Homo-oligomer: A and B are copies of this chain.
């Protein structure tokens, strides 16, 4: 039996949502390096100790918010063809991750205890696309992740320039030609 305080959407979930949304708002208004726990607490209407008790420190909270933002708001675009859907997904992913908030998300999420969830989230999106076209030959989800998401993210974090969209298209071609 769970008490009313433990039901999903209950008090605890509402507190978490108000803290997450305070973080998102502050990250839009000011540089990430200047955001502090007391600021977030004030904006969310909680005490700093509520945040420290729940997350331990600022980097764990930022990681949690980053992971939640990795969850897409909607299903992947449906262009009418398998290749088109995959390409649209990959282009949007490259776009979003290369942006300043995207880069910060990628860095923050690494401080999460479960950064591996990133691949689970991406894999879920790609599987949704593949399932739309059950009768067509296609690469597996892991291969698509290795050929599209991996070079996108690797070049954002470790290269002087992001992945070029022409190379992304060639990598998609390679994935489908195997």
Chain A residues in the interface with B (C-beta under 8 A): 107, 109-110, 115-116, 118-120, 142-143, 145-147, 149-151, 153-155, 157-161, 163, 167, 171, 174, 178
Complex Cα gap A2–B115 (Å):
48
Copies in the complex: 2
Cβ–Cβ contact A119 & B159, under 8 A: yes
Contact of A146 among B109, B151, B160 (CB under 8 A): B151
Cβ–Cβ contact B158 & A146, under 8 A: no
Which of A143, A150, A161, A163 has the most B CB atoms < 10 Å from its CB? A150
Give chain B residues whose Cβ lies under 8 Å from the Cβ of A171: 146
Give chain B residues whose Cβ lies under 8 Å from the Cβ of A118: 158-159
